[in-house]
Structure 1
């Protein structure tokens, strides 16, 4: 092994950049054959390190988000859900809303793709270097109740605010008692204009008062959620039920 090659491998280890040590020979042969300049060769080697490091980081962030499954925008069935605005969803997929601390709210009946889109947008955010965490609305309340019982509620809210995107799935499926509603409101209020929420609900905003047991609390919560938000209303029947319906003539 040449002295230069040994030096490059040493530098790659010292910089904790192992892809440089893997790529410099292969790209060196390609650079000589193609007549690259020194600058072009260096840029190509560094690009490999950065791109693979970003992919590895994204994979770790996606795993840490605790999604219920891996969903992508490319897999979403827009043909079944024509009410979904393709252009808006594509724009949300750039994760600009995260840097602007805006929210995304997905409303519609069960099985219309709300959770799919929420997870897919969360995956995109993770790929854009944002920390994401997924849970159901009842799951978030359970976390807050545990923190509250330990006298750590303020610290828990501060810690969650450092997460760029929280996904609250299934708001409205199970009614909250007053204490749970107050805790959920504190979660919403703590993130207002500081960090993003992605929320899904099977209920229109007009019915949230029933969920939280107090129209005033629900109104204050909705006001903070939608002030800086894109609200997407999905319509139609459940895609899951449709996929299990018998074909004509087989019933």
Structure 2
């Protein structure tokens, strides 16, 4: 066996032992380039390891994105800023760095339906998976159902502790369906358990002033809002629904009674 083949065989063995088969492929592809350019041994090793790390990070991000349960893959790059001219790109760019996750801060997106709240929440969540964070996405009603099941099984404290291991939880559509008192209390416990421990992103079609209507108790709502916004970026989106921008709403039949006055 030639020296080159023997070395290739050793690399193959070591790559399998390290459970890093891509090292074998990268080493072979980069070897000729290293010889042609005159890389040092250290430069060649760094290039091979860099390819392995990049591949692992990409693979890990894809797995984290699948586990997160996003309703659709929507990135921040795809967001239509023309529909939200008041949205500060600098604010969004800063959030995309993931700094708020390191600080266990929250993001709240408020605005009418169809203004891009879920898109932005998903985009920030997707970016978090790329930065190495574990993420879970669900609607407010789905979260309450999950917590309710855990409560019924006597495992609510364990479930809340498990969820704290996720760097980011996204709660979509707060306010679309009012909560009964038990559900409101469960939601409050979710917020409280993550306060200053891990981040939340919440979207809502209602202003904070109307959250008391959702949770059926102004005191509970106020306590919840206090914990959410203590460390948070609150972004208010305005305007009409982006989903309806190409539809002629004015052409729909009016449901208002006709004015028959002369």
Quickly name the TM-score band, shorter chain normalised: over 0.9
**How far 1:84 moved relative to its partner?**
1.3
1:84 corresponding residue in structure 2: 87
Cα distance in 2 for partners of 1:49, 1:205 equals: 47
Structure 1: 5+ residue runs without aligned partners?
247-251
**How far 1:18 moved relative to its partner?**
1.0
Which deviations, in whole Å up to 9, do the C-alpha atoms of 1:74-96 show, x marking residues without a partner?
00000111121101101111111
1:74 counterpart SS class: helix
Cα distance in 2 for partners of 1:57, 1:128 equals: 10
Are positions 1:170 and 2:142 aligned together? no
Cα distance in 1 for partners of 2:35, 2:23 equals: 17
Q: 1:196 aligns with which of 187, 196, 199?
A: 199
RMSD value, Cα: 0.9
Cα distance in 2 for partners of 1:63, 1:244 equals: 33
Q: 2:241 aligns with which of 238, 242, 245?
A: 238
Structure 2: 5+ residue runs without aligned partners?
250-262
Is contact 1:170-1:201 (8 Å) kept? yes
Cα distance in 2 for partners of 1:134, 1:194 equals: 18
Q: 1:44 aligns with which of 37, 44, 47?
A: 47
Which deviations, in whole Å up to 9, do the C-alpha atoms of 1:37-70 show, x marking residues without a partner?
1111000000000000000000000000000000
Is contact 1:83-1:233 (8 Å) kept? no
1:15 corresponding residue in structure 2: 18
Which deviations, in whole Å up to 9, do the C-alpha atoms of 1:8-53 show, x marking residues without a partner?
1100110011110111111000111111111110000000000000
2:86 counterpart SS class: coil
Cα distance in 1 for partners of 2:210, 2:194 equals: 23
How many residue pairs end up in the alignment?
Answer: 246
